[in-house]
Amino acid sequence: MKRGRFAPTPSGMMHLGNARTALIAWLHMRSSGGEFVLRMEDIDTARSRDEWARLALTDLRWLGLDWDEGPDVGGPYAPYTQSERLERYEEAFGRLQASGLVYPCYCSRGDILSAASAPHGLSSEGPAYAGTCRHLTPAQRAQRAQLKEPSMRFALPEGREVRFVDGIAGPQHFPPGSGGDFVVRRADGLYSYQLSVVLDDADMRITDVLRGEDLLDSTPRQILLYEALGLPAPEFLHVPLLNGPDGKRLAKRHGGIAISAYRERGTDPRKLVGWLAYVSGLIDRPEAVAASDLIDSFDLARIPREAVVVDVPDI
């Protein structure tokens, strides 16, 4: 049976872009008779808030979405909140360490930014890591450890390219070294998104990972972690983003995009669902429609293959 998920980060209020991804992921599972899991990705405890996690559940239910397993309803693969799964990440990290697949990195962000030879990597991280600490001798590591607590990086396999077929974006090819060796545990002890999401999806038996296209270039890293941990990788499907009139990713700067704002001012949730379905190519015009009414006609082939420019709906 297919199993999909929606995994919001409770670092702010859920907005139109989040809700659109949630709707498409939910329809993808419901239309195929699959199971839908809700997971709360609060691994970054400094940015996450319990009240935003609770608000996300309220917003999703208001939109007419439900889930078979999640932090509030439980399920066979609980817990469904990352901050309650730290022992699992620690165990997996220990396996990577025992296999010699990670190494300590003593570089600061400034050191990485100043590496002129570093190509541009993942947009959220700046330049790719140049591998400065990968080949330090034990003596050099001991000396640097006296000055700084290291992060731990996953060493990309030499010469290993990553190819996969994305369920929406199509064939993908990432040459060897893409993005550089990446952090799996930060210097403050927090485990990275890359490691936690791989463990979570594997443990929860997720078969289809449908998420925003901004995470497409994280996928080869996750595929390599699946392989390193001996875990089966799911199918990946990346949905092009919603952009504002300025061509930039829809965000708070565009104003009025929080789902809770629509709910609190009395918007008919079917009108918002209809707008989300329309900008996603699922219906021909923006009209009030219940999420459940979209199940029978749902077709991934109708999802746009490029970012969609939209105005914030006044409904």
Task: Show which of 157, 175, 193 is a domain's final residue.
Answer: 193
Identify whether 218 is part of a domain. Answer: no
| 166 and 74 fall within a common domain | no
Contact between 259 and 13 (Cβ < 8 Å): yes
- 199 alpha-carbon distance from chain centroid: 13
Identify whether 59 is part of a domain. Answer: yes
CATH number for position 140? 3.90.800.10
Domain that holds residue 108: 87-193
pLDDT at residue 246 in the model: 87
Place of tokens 């497409």: 216
Q: Mean pLDDT in each 10-residue stretch from start to end of the chain (315 residues)?
A: 97 94 98 98 90 97 98 98 97 98 88 42 67 93 94 96 97 94 94 96 98 95 98 98 88 78 96 98 97 98 95 88
Closest C-alpha to 20, from 235, 289, 296, 273: 273
| 72 and 100 fall within a common domain | no
Contact between 219 and 26 (Cβ < 8 Å): no
| 70 and 93 fall within a common domain | no
| 68 and 94 fall within a common domain | no
Closest C-alpha to 40, from 67, 71, 18: 71
Identify whether 203 is part of a domain. Answer: no
CATH number for position 76? 3.40.50.620
Identify whether 224 is part of a domain. Answer: no
Tally of domains in the chain: 2
Q: Read off the pTM.
A: 0.93
- Quote the DSSP letter at residue 139: H
Identify whether 214 is part of a domain. Answer: no
Place of tokens 């991934």: 300
